[in-house]
């Protein structure tokens, strides 16, 4: 969707599935409420929906009201499906029919937490990039090969808006508020919720390594932990392998097999992501960040940063200044 279309999104329908995540839903709704409050305008309105018009219990046992039936698709600018635990059991034929009806009517579709699974199950994500909570990534990729599932916090791909769980919906909504109310309003909303910054599509979910490799690979986990605690003064891979009681060749095989990368690349990506956090969340200079993340020269740091993120580290500061000026 282009900026003009994004700015036109006003009435949002939230289709609540049984055992939906209350924190994900709240983090999607509260930025909209705050945008209305701070702007003193009714920029957004929202309606809670269920398949039968009856109250739906969240995973914490609480139910919300009032709940409506999603009968008139044309009154909504976007339908967002809210999932949670036991998502496969929560999806009914009625819910799938609702999603398909909205898609057929040309209404943009979104999802928070595991609601992305419902969109994929309804067949409306084929050919799209999307996000889902990291716990579901591996299994859902196997089940829906026509959809590109990413580890990003949220994804806006044309008329599909998908988001992982927890606090990530807050970032998605703040990004949408930028189009309707401006960057200044989005920043004011984030400050009200004590956010250090508004994360964007370049930000990744932090996926625990144990969930990526499974149990029984303590040596690999120990290697990753050792790298994480040695950011400023990186240890050599040879020394790391020796400390773990294995050969460097064996360490390389472990990283290749279970993480599809090399120990060296994993280590440098870890340091670069830490560098991005420092650039976005502190006033440290680029040179100070270079040293803090174990790079011997600014040229090597800038080249590596551009290779991973697609732009130089100085742009992170430029983006911050643009946000402050807006």
Under 8 Å between Cβ of 76 and 47:
yes
The answer to whether 110 and 129 have CB atoms below 8 angstroms apart is no
The secondary structure element, H or E, covering residue 109 is strand 109-112
Among candidates 7, 70, 11, 79, which has minimal Cα distance to 46?
11
The rounded distance, in Å, linking the Cα atoms of 162 and 147 is 12
3-192: CATH, from 3.40.50.2000, 3.40.50.880, 2.60.40.1220, 2.40.50.100 = 3.40.50.880
- And the tokens for 79? 């339908």
pLDDT, residue 119, reads 97
Quick one: pLDDT at residue 210? 58
Cα angle 277, 282, 286 (rounded to 5 degrees) comes to 80
Give the C-alpha separation, 5 to 165, whole Å. 25
Where in the chain are the domains? 3-192, 209-325
CATH tag for 209-325 (out of 1.20.1250.20, 3.40.50.10490, 1.10.287.3510, 1.10.10.60): 1.10.10.60
- Judge whether 110 and 78 are in contact, CB under 8 Å: yes
DSSP string, 75-87: G-SEEEEE-BSSH
pLDDT score for 17: 97
pLDDT, position 215: 59
Give per-10-residue mean pLDDT for the chain (326 aa).
89 97 97 97 96 93 89 93 93 96 97 96 96 81 88 93 94 95 94 89 73 69 86 91 92 88 92 86 86 92 92 77 44
Dihedral of the alpha carbons of 270, 271, 274, 275, in degrees to the nearest 10 = -140
């Amino acid at each position: 969707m282009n900026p003009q279309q994004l700015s036109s999104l006003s009435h949002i329908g939230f289709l609540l599935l049984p055992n939906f995540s209350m924190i994900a839903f709240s983090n999607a709704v509260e930025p909209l409420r705050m945008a209305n409050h701070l702007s003193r305008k009714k920029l957004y309105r929202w309606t809670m929906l269920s398949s039968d018009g009856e109250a739906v219990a969240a995973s914490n046992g609480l139910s919300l009201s009032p709940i409506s039936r999603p009968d008139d698709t044309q009154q909504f600018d976007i339908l967002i499906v809210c999932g949670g635990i036991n998502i496969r059991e929560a999806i009914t034929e009625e819910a799938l029919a609702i999603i398909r009806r909205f898609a057929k009517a040309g209404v943009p579709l979104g999802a928070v937490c595991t609601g992305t699974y419902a969109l994929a199950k309804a067949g409306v994500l084929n050919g799209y990039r999307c996000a889902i909570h990291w716990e579901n990534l591996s299994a859902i990729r196997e089940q829906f090969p026509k959809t590109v599932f990413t580890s990003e916090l949220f994804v806006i791909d044309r008329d599909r808006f998908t988001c992982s769980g927890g606090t990530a919906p807050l970032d998605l909504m703040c990004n949408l508020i930028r189009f309707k109310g401006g960057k200044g309003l989005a920043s004011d909303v984030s400050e009200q919720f004590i956010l250090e910054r508004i994360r964007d599509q370049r930000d990744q979910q932090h996926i625990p390594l144990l969930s990526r490799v499974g149990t029984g690979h303590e040596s690999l986990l120990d290697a990753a932990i050792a790298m994480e605690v040695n950011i400023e003064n990186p240890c050599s891979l040879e020394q790391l392998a020796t400390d773990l009681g294995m050969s460097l060749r064996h360490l390389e095989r472990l990283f290749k097999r279970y993480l599809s990368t090399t120990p060296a690349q994993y280590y440098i990506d870890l340091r670069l992501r830490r560098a991005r956090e420092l650039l976005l969340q502190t006033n440290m200079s680029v040179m100070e960040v270079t040293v803090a993340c174990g790079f011997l020269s600014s040229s090597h740091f800038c080249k590596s940063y551009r290779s991973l993120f697609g732009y130089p580290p100085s742009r992170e500061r430029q983006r911050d200044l643009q946000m402050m000026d807006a």
